[in-house]
A and B are shown apart, each in its own frame.
Chain A
Amino acid sequence: MSLDKKYSKEVKQILSKYPAEHKRSAVMPLLYLAQREEGYVNKEAIQDIARVLDMTETEVASIIGFYSLYHDKKAGKYRMQVCTDLPCALRGADEFLEKLCGNLGIQVGETTEDGLVTVEAVMCLAGCDRAPMFQTQGPDGIKYHEYMTVDRTMELIEALKGDEK
């Protein structure tokens, strides 16, 4: 089913935020909608958005490529995005990330074997005073996790596993 049929109510609500002659503004919220279920935007969704907004598919794809929170490839169900920028690094973010990856047996950018978590290093998330910190990007949106330790993160991953079942 096409994106605009499947989420017809939400699409309508999104479009209502912008002047009708400037509906292209809706491309960003529609892309979030498109990657809600699978964590990435598939080709059909790009076509649907292009059609709804009178854009070319290339234009839609260029938005996905430009912004770091849109993805065109499948990854883990949750992307665990750890900030390693200067202020967080001054509070141990690099060591945190290394230990976390060691515990999970993966490298930065890789996904756990069960497909649950992809660990990524990202740029500043405006949580500098609460580092180490990361966000999880998943089907239910983006959530912040602050004042984190490796132990607490492993507990969080166990809890996410629990949600799976």
Chain B
Amino acid sequence: MSHVLLRHRDIPDINKLNVYKKNGGFDAFKKAVTKMKPNEVTDVVKNSGLRGRGGAGFPTGLKWSFIDNKSWPHYVVANADESEPGTFKDREIMESNPFQFLEGLAIASYAVGATVAYVYLRGEFWQVAAFLDEKIAEMEEAGYLGDNLFGKDYSLKIFTHLGAGAYICGEETALLESLEGKRGQPRVRPPFPPAVGLYGKPTIINNVETFTNVPMILANGADWYKSMGTSDSAGVKIFSLSGRVRKPGNYELPFGSTFRQLIYEHGMGIQDGRPIKAIMPAGASSSLIVVDEKVLDTPMDYATVRTLGADLGSASVIVLDETVDIDWVINKTIHFFKHESCGKCTTCREGNHWMRNLTDRIHHGKASSEDVTLLLNVAKQMQGKCLCALGEFSTMAVVTGIERFPEDFKKAVKA
């Protein structure tokens, strides 16, 4: 099957404007602006079943329909902050198939009546941002961005904006704060961005991968998109596969593909043929899944992965083989979250501080079994009390690690 998102793997040089154009590029945007009303565009996306690819899986068309039409101007922001350990898909899209992403962003902007859109990239994507700036300039030159597009009364400008190293800015309201020139700390919600977003104005924020689906959906129709994937999760998804696999990388598969297909057919199995111990399907934010044959044959979509006691999230599948100690894994994830906690809410700021101290002690063999119980208690007490989802994420691997791999912790405190 040819790719829907990673089309550069089928079409060489699709990052060149003329090649993109030759392969149907900007037809969907032109169709939207010249032949469709904005709400008709939103309806197609709604009917396609497309869900947000940043991790939460919220229905995209529904989100667009929430835009507050009593307050103007409107903004659209692409979340290109991609900072979850194990996630590296948006980067490949922007580096290799940039126009499809930008066209999707342009279509979304038309659908919600925005005349300015921003791409918020993590600061480390310095080279990617410079590349996108070139591509945006080419689109302006060719008349796909600017004033009175396609001879119609619609104008659009796209700007890139670099963050500067802060995981929290992937959280949409923290991202908006950052884009406004403040420290990236989440806002209390509601109100949600489609009502009160950038500069207090209605704003739609979607992940890069989400936008990249949109031109293909408009070109081929909602039914075509729904024909791929599962009834719960329509379409295709880019799975970022990392860890102890032979061939890590991005793989675009329909939702409903199994872990076995991803890890063994595409990732070529585990280094030295070792057995898999655990899978983290949503990066460092993930619960740990104990792996057996049944788990490997589980179809990957949002609803089914939940039956395994985990979330699919951004589909950043980290594979741990039998040589990996889980006390080491949570020591790594907690060091990450301790560093990245924005400090706004006490739960996450203090909780991660103490979880870091405890996992350090456990991992360095200086802990008693009471320390493991205490760590589990701290993590569980944090749950449900954090200002944003990222605080909750920090507890996932800790709780499921201790509960599902008790032997590793017994070993760690004895040693």
Contact = CB atoms under 8 A, between A and B. Distances in A.
Given A125-B124, A144-B127, A22 B180 contact: yes
10 contacts: A17-B159, A28-B181, A62-B183, A70-B164, A90-B324, A124-B87, A125-B124, A126-B91, A128-B242, A142-B124
B85 A86 contact: yes
A69 B123 CA distance: 7
B58 to A, nearest CB: 22
A87 B124 contact: no
Contacts of A141: 126-127, 130
A24 to B, nearest CB: 4
A63 B181 contact: yes
A90 B161 contact: no
B33 interface: no
Interface string A12-28: 00000101001011111
Contacts of B182: 24, 63
Interface in B227-249: 240-244, 248-249
B180 A86 contact: no
Interface in B124-156: 124-127, 130
Nearest to A30: B181
Nearest to B342: A66
Q: Size class of A's contact patch?
A: 35 or more
A124 B84 contact: yes
A143 B183 contact: no
A28 B240 contact: no
A25 to B, nearest CB: 5
A90 B123 contact: no
Contact of A128 (B88, B130, B178): B88
A24 B166 contact: no
A22 B161 CA distance: 14
A48 to B, nearest CB: 15
Interface of B: 82-88, 90-91, 122-127, 130, 159, 161-167, 178-184, 199, 240-244, 248-250, 284, 316, 318, 320, 324, 329, 332-333, 336, 339-340, 342
A69 B84 CA distance: 17
Contacts of B339: 123
A129 B336 contact: no
Nearest to B333: A86
A86 B164 contact: no
B332 A68 contact: no
B165 A67 contact: yes
B95 to A, nearest CB: 10
Interface in A122-150: 122-129, 135, 141-144
A57 interface: no
A126 B122 contact: yes
Which of B85, B124, B126, B166 is the most central at the interface, judged by chain A CB atoms within 10 Å of its CB? B124
Which of A19, A128, A143 is the most central at the interface, judged by chain B CB atoms within 10 Å of its CB? A128
A135 B199 CA distance: 33
A123 B167 contact: yes
Contact of B241 (A27, A63, A129): A129
B199 A22 contact: yes
A126 to B, nearest CB: 4
Contact of A142 (B126, B161, B324, B340): B126
A68 B159 CA distance: 23
Contact of B127 (A28, A122, A142): A142
A157 interface: no
